[in-house]
Structure 1
């Protein structure tokens, strides 16, 4: 397996080059040169396999040329070391809970897999690798935890100041050591732009050995396919043979792109629903055919506060950049803060299921767009505890009743490093770190 740039598909790159470059030399995203098809035996029987075994089979075609079976086995067992349960919420509706990892968010899977792959490939290097990442919330904590004290790697996490929850900020700023957290006076798009500008700065790249841990990096994206296979496996084990409809909270669109990549490999899925918040560039695109990114709008579902999602180009490429073909597989709607709030209260009071704002957006979208006789899975991307302030306002006492503590969340993070979204300043900072 080789990889190509979406901007200039002639040149082919190895997995190691893709992981360490982050972005292609032309500034575009990498994609596999082709999508491998899993054999019929696996598609028939994957529901009989353990999670790590499913992960091995799904990921092997993408890494086999560069990583031995023994190494891949070790990496997937270390990555998928926590449960990813599918829970029935009501008739025909299931929650895929991706928040049982160390930072209580779905980003744990991608960050752990990428950190271990980079650590493997970086063995024997005399110079340090600098990992740059931008976060709108959960990515930062997962990356900080996944890369903390990984030998030979320095990590820089940029996040929008005042636009992540206190607990998310605690997770980003807490590790220290080789993890450097910077709060940016701006939006997630400003953070992402600073990272992209650094990768497109050839003079800087001559000085600093660096890559990204955002979902622009294929090493973050690929392992996210696995939990869609695992969700389908659990549905089968429950005796449900219907093809599922997946509703995915979508900001930078990496998670749903991974899900679509899984279907191209053979995962049986009926269709996808992308739930966005007020940052609705994709729902508008599906209606009009015009991709018109706007300035980021701050919402309760802050990890989805992305005005110009990077992974859109990958998602569209999977459908040959053809709007009608994409629309055959994808519906997308925007969910307002008011709808998110009402959904959290309604589902908890009526079904005794507690959700964070991102999960609530997916549930709302599924409830609006799923047919009554279809099996629907909404993706729960973060533990409700991470958004304790919001939940306490909506459902006073619910966290304490559920056995959660928010004392350390409210303590805040000391010594936060804050900067304006100025590239020359950012460049100077990472040059000094290197």
Structure 2
């Protein structure tokens, strides 16, 4: 598999170089030159595999000769040692062999170590990077901006890996208190440092982009990105859409499948669209945005207008300039009609999000994080616009306890902390407060490598 820059399709490299360099020399995002396409027999075979085995098989088509088949099997088995359940609001978990009647499921993606969907991409990425650096003896400085869960997942995935230093940039006051504890409690002496930026997530993301645009700074620190600008974050996000759609199709072969996704930087949606192009039996995607909705506006108008982000309850989606929009254009040759035929979008205020979260909890006892509530509300609104019978899958991206304070205020009830979060909250925090200055960031990295 070769990867090309979306700025210049003639600028190509292999997986390992794309992963470790993050961006193409011309500053463009990398995308696969082509995608594998699986027929019915192969889909049936992949569908009966456990998730980690299916992921290992799929990853073979995206990596290069630095990874053997055994490497990939071991890597994925280690990365994906937690469940990926599809659950109804009343608690029934989908078993494709003996499915209960139902047409709506929650895909709970928060059973990994940091209780967020970012664990799926971060753990694959951490293990692939570690594998390559162990072979070459090289080092890397990972720079990552986070609006919530990415930083915790990346920090955990790379914690104490030899040859790697991690610097996590997050907006001061722009993540939940529980998320901040996760980001800042990995220990002062370890290889993961948290930097609170005086600004928005867009400021954090812009600072990371400016760092990678500075060739001297990149070379001096051996910079690598773990944000979704790195193709190593996006590719594994296709794996869970691919595998879960096969489970759903086995259970309900006569119904088309639609996924509802809470979306900010569009990496999750990009992964789903890649899975669909590989033959995953997915009919549509419903995109839920909060008050930051340039992609939903693009779906409605055909015009993409990035803008400054505004803070909301669903903070991980507070992104006005989504990194992966150019990748979606690349997948479809810039054809708005094709994209709109597959993707439908809705956007919501915090008041609407709160009301829906509270309604679902009061009626079913099922508790969602604010991001999941946005996606579930979008799915309900989509369902009201069509007479077609779908199997509807809402992507649940984080454990509600990661937003303990906010959710408790909405439902007027207590939200217990899982043990891992309780440990983070009790641990001592270590963070460095910084203005959004490339000079200050360069100096801080130099002092802490």
Q: Is 1:175 matched with 2:190? A: no
* Matching residue of 1:151: 162
| RMSD across aligned positions (CA) | 1.9
Query: Following the alignment from structure 1 to structure 2, what is the Cα–Cα distance between the partners of residues 332 and 27?
Result: 29
Query: Following the alignment from structure 1 to structure 2, what is the Cα–Cα distance between the partners of residues 102 and 307?
Result: 29
* Matching residue of 1:424: 439
* Matching residue of 2:98: none
Task: Report if aligned partners of 1:144, 1:171 keep a CA contact under 8 Å in 2.
Answer: no
Q: Is 1:320 matched with 2:333? A: yes
* Matching residue of 2:408: 392
Counterparts of 1:353-392 in structure 2, within 5 Å, are 353-370=366-383, 371=386, 373-392=389-408
Secondary structure of 2:395's counterpart equals: strand
Deviation for aligned residue 1:226: 1.3
Secondary structure of 2:62's counterpart equals: helix
Query: Following the alignment from structure 1 to structure 2, what is the Cα–Cα distance between the partners of residues 272 and 352?
Result: 26
Query: Following the alignment from structure 2 to structure 1, what is the Cα–Cα distance between the partners of residues 260 and 9?
Result: 31
* Matching residue of 2:78: 78
Query: Following the alignment from structure 1 to structure 2, what is the Cα–Cα distance between the partners of residues 393 and 409?
Result: 21
Task: Report if aligned partners of 1:133, 1:212 keep a CA contact under 8 Å in 2.
Answer: yes
Secondary structure of 2:88's counterpart equals: strand
Shift of the 367–101 alpha-carbon distance from structure 1 to 2, 3 Å rule, reads same
Deviation for aligned residue 1:125: 4.0
* Matching residue of 1:307: 320
Task: Report if aligned partners of 1:166, 1:412 keep a CA contact under 8 Å in 2.
Answer: no
Secondary structure of 2:134's counterpart equals: coil
Query: Following the alignment from structure 2 to structure 1, what is the Cα–Cα distance between the partners of residues 182 and 205?
Result: 19
Query: Following the alignment from structure 1 to structure 2, what is the Cα–Cα distance between the partners of residues 95 and 112?
Result: 22
Query: Which deviates more, 236-245 or 377-386?
Result: 236-245
Query: Following the alignment from structure 1 to structure 2, what is the Cα–Cα distance between the partners of residues 222 and 205?
Result: 24
Shift of the 430–410 alpha-carbon distance from structure 1 to 2, 3 Å rule, reads closer
* Matching residue of 1:6: 6
Task: Report if aligned partners of 1:47, 1:236 keep a CA contact under 8 Å in 2.
Answer: no
Aligned pair partner of 1:117 in 111, 119, 128 = 128
Query: Following the alignment from structure 2 to structure 1, what is the Cα–Cα distance between the partners of residues 295 and 367?
Result: 27
Q: 5+ unaligned residues in a row in structure 2: which ranges?
A: 91-101
* Matching residue of 1:238: 251
Query: Following the alignment from structure 1 to structure 2, what is the Cα–Cα distance between the partners of residues 413 and 187?
Result: 24
Task: Report if aligned partners of 1:134, 1:159 keep a CA contact under 8 Å in 2.
Answer: yes
The C-alpha deviation readout for 1:253-300, integer Å capped at 9, x for no partner, is 000100000001110111111111100101111222221111111000
* Matching residue of 2:99: none
Shift of the 300–409 alpha-carbon distance from structure 1 to 2, 3 Å rule, reads farther
Query: Following the alignment from structure 1 to structure 2, what is the Cα–Cα distance between the partners of residues 405 and 32?
Result: 36
Shift of the 161–412 alpha-carbon distance from structure 1 to 2, 3 Å rule, reads farther
* Matching residue of 1:34: 34
Deviation for aligned residue 1:403: 8.0
Query: Which deviates more, 305-314 or 211-220?
Result: 211-220
Deviation for aligned residue 1:234: 2.8
The C-alpha deviation readout for 1:173-211, integer Å capped at 9, x for no partner, is 111300011000111111111111111111112212121
Deviation for aligned residue 1:45: 3.5
Query: Following the alignment from structure 1 to structure 2, what is the Cα–Cα distance between the partners of residues 51 and 351?
Result: 29
Query: Following the alignment from structure 2 to structure 1, what is the Cα–Cα distance between the partners of residues 426 and 243?
Result: 37
Shift of the 258–219 alpha-carbon distance from structure 1 to 2, 3 Å rule, reads same
Query: Following the alignment from structure 2 to structure 1, what is the Cα–Cα distance between the partners of residues 420 and 204?
Result: 31
Task: Report if aligned partners of 1:36, 1:61 keep a CA contact under 8 Å in 2.
Answer: yes
Deviation for aligned residue 1:46: 2.7
Shift of the 43–427 alpha-carbon distance from structure 1 to 2, 3 Å rule, reads same
Query: Following the alignment from structure 2 to structure 1, what is the Cα–Cα distance between the partners of residues 193 and 448?
Result: 9
TM-score (norm 1): 0.95
Counterparts of 1:240-319 in structure 2, within 5 Å, are 240-319=253-332
Deviation for aligned residue 1:44: 2.9
Shift of the 410–141 alpha-carbon distance from structure 1 to 2, 3 Å rule, reads closer
Shift of the 68–128 alpha-carbon distance from structure 1 to 2, 3 Å rule, reads same
TM-score (norm 2): 0.92
Deviation for aligned residue 1:158: 0.3
Deviation for aligned residue 1:41: 1.7
* Matching residue of 1:61: 61
